Amino acid sequence: MTSLNRKNLKAWLGEAVSMADRSRELILESVRTGFEHTLKDDGTFVTDVDTSVETALRARILESFPEHGIIGEELNDVNPDADFVWTIDPIDGTQSFRHRIPLYGTIISLLHHDIPVLGVIDLPALGIRCSGALGEGAFCGDEQLRIEDLGDDQAIEREIIAAGERKQFVGIGKEYVFDEIMHAHPSVRTYCDCFGHVMALLGSVGAMVDFNLHVWDSAATEVLVKEAGGKHVRLFEDRRGGRDVRYDVVFGKPRVVDWLLERIR
């Protein structure tokens, strides 16, 4: 199971979907029974659910794919220079989760030499899951996702634009990008984290502008948007790969992405 071919991709995607089943189960159980949170060194919170979900998913990967690497948000890297590396964000949107806002989710992806080849985004509280792999299409449940472009630029103002939270932009001195978009379009909404990503995949928002992401936040979306026929642009390139890179991305319907890029660049 170490070469990139259709048969392996399908098998790996099946395993990723099964991992998302497990994470959904663990997360919904913790919502019922309660959970603890602690402050991390970087000033953000982590809950015991983040850690227990990531531990469970890592155990599955280590058992099924001992030769693959793992980069996850809450625990140390495993073999991060392997040809194939899994990325895990056990709860993307921990702040929402902690406040019981139902717009958080689990993100799983697989990289082949830093290129995302499959992705799963699961929103447990909404019962929505997007999944797909290179050349295999992107799906929401059984429905194949097709991000339809707009017929003309006039229609852009009737779209909704999703953005990450302003503090993501402030953290890297790029709040002017957030403010510019907020002023340029009448309906910009801070649908941060994977909820915004899924809304872009479903075509519910025209595009999303999300800055200062880690690989575990962004890899699944990249492959899913492309497989759905949408446009995905990385504004910030860094060839190092791994845990230390940050990604500034814009993705969604091609015309809306282009319109946003004109305002950002």
DSSP code at position 114: T
Number of residues in contact with a copy of itself under rule CB under 8 A: 25
Judged by CB under 8 A, the residue of 91, 199, 223, 256 near a copy of itself is 199
Q: How far apart are CA 128 and CA 224, in angstroms?
A: 14
Site string for a copy of itself, 114-153 (x = CB under 8 A): -----------xx---------------------------
Strands 84-92 and 69-72: parallel
Q: Which helix (H) or strand (E) covers residue 75, if one does?
A: none
Closer to a copy of itself by Cβ: residue 84 or 97: 97
Closer to a copy of itself by Cβ: residue 134 or 160: 160
Which span sits near a copy of itself by CB under 8 A: 14-22, 65-73, 78-86, 199-207? 199-207
Which span sits near a copy of itself by CB under 8 A: 12-20, 59-67, 106-114, 183-191? 183-191
Judged by CB under 8 A, the residue of 182, 235, 245, 261 near a copy of itself is 182
Q: Does 180 sit near a copy of itself (CB under 8 A)?
A: no
Q: What DSSP letter does each residue of 179-243 carry, written as one string? A: HHHHHHSS-EE---HHHHHHHHHTTSSSEEEEEEE-HHHHHHHHHHHHHTT-EEEESS--TT-GG
Q: Cα dist. 28→23, 34, 145, 238 in Å?
A: 9, 10, 26, 36
> Could you tell me how many residues make up the chain?
265
Closer to a copy of itself by Cβ: residue 90 or 196: 196
Closest CA to 227 of 82, 109, 87: 109
Which span sits near a copy of itself by CB under 8 A: 5-13, 86-94, 198-206, 242-250? 198-206
SS3 label, residue 101? coil
List contacts with a copy of itself (CB under 8 A).
Answer: 95-96, 99-102, 125-126, 160, 165-167, 170, 182-183, 186-190, 192, 199, 202, 204-205
